[in-house]
Structure 1
Amino acid sequence: MGFKFEKLKVWRTALELAFEVSNVIQEFPSHEKFVLGTQMQKAADSVVLNIAEGSTGQSSAEFKRFLNYSIRSALEVVTCLYLGEMRKIIKKEDFTNLYNKYNDLIKSIQALRNSLT
């Protein structure tokens, strides 16, 4: 592992969650894969991408800014979960599982952000 972000637990967790989101989206009806599914996947991918991009910045302030973007994207995923559940295209167990994991991830990203000086 040669990049700084690869050592970060939040990055590894976000990467795993982006994969889990893609598995849930595969079960969407075709019309929702290209509407809600695309938006949800982009948001899930954005979480992990912003952690990686921010970790290579020149300052803690820059990294904090990208961690804030990651949190916002994670909240977007959570909102997509609600929309999917309301539209009856996300199973209750998938909703609960991903909701809880994103809740924990957001807390971890916030803790990392708050630890930076």
Structure 2
Amino acid sequence: MGDFRNLKAWQQAKELASLSAAAIKKLPGYERYALGDQWRRAAYSVVLNLAEGNSGRGPREFRRYLDIARSSLHEIEGILELVDAFGYLEKEELRLIRIKRSNCARLVYALLRKIDEAAKRT
């Protein structure tokens, strides 16, 4: 399937993980080890599942990893809702993270559609 680093979805996921890591450091101490840890795992999950899924085991296997990445992106959105509700971060920082998450999700959905369309043709 090629080098995972060339996937736009992976590139966006890596940027999302970086933005998330910086934001997690700004959470209150008691949340860094609860909500922050969950957020970190979800962000890493997106990056790592895109990399592992693109390892060339075939489209069915890749789709499975994409589904996991998609679920982690939804989890991040839920976490961002909590962070917003509790006022842990500035609105502008949250907005930028949400944009990055949405861009990544859009690219993951596009990969899922591509795999599904290819499966229908076979």
The verdict on a shared fold, with TM-score over 0.5 as the criterion, is yes
Larger radius of gyration: 2
Corresponding residue number in structure 1 for 2:47: 48
Matches of 1:77 and 1:90, distance apart in 2: 15
Matches of 1:101 and 1:7, distance apart in 2: 17
Note the aligned Cα RMSD (angstroms): 1.2
Alignment-mate amino acid for residue 11 of structure 2: R
TM-score, length of structure 1 as denominator length: 0.92
Report the number of matched residues. 115
Matches of 1:21 and 1:8, distance apart in 2: 20
Alignment-mate amino acid for residue 12 of structure 2: T
Where 1:31 maps in the other structure, the secondary structure is: helix
User: Higher relative CO (CA 8 A, sep ≥ 6), structure 1 or 2?
Assistant: 2
Q: Unmatched 5+ residue regions in structure 1?
A: none
* Aligned pairs for 1:1-117 within 5 A: 4-116=3-115, 117=118
Give the ranges of 4+ consecutive aligned residues of structure 1 lying more than 6 Å apart after TM superposition: none
TM-score, length of structure 2 as denominator length: 0.89
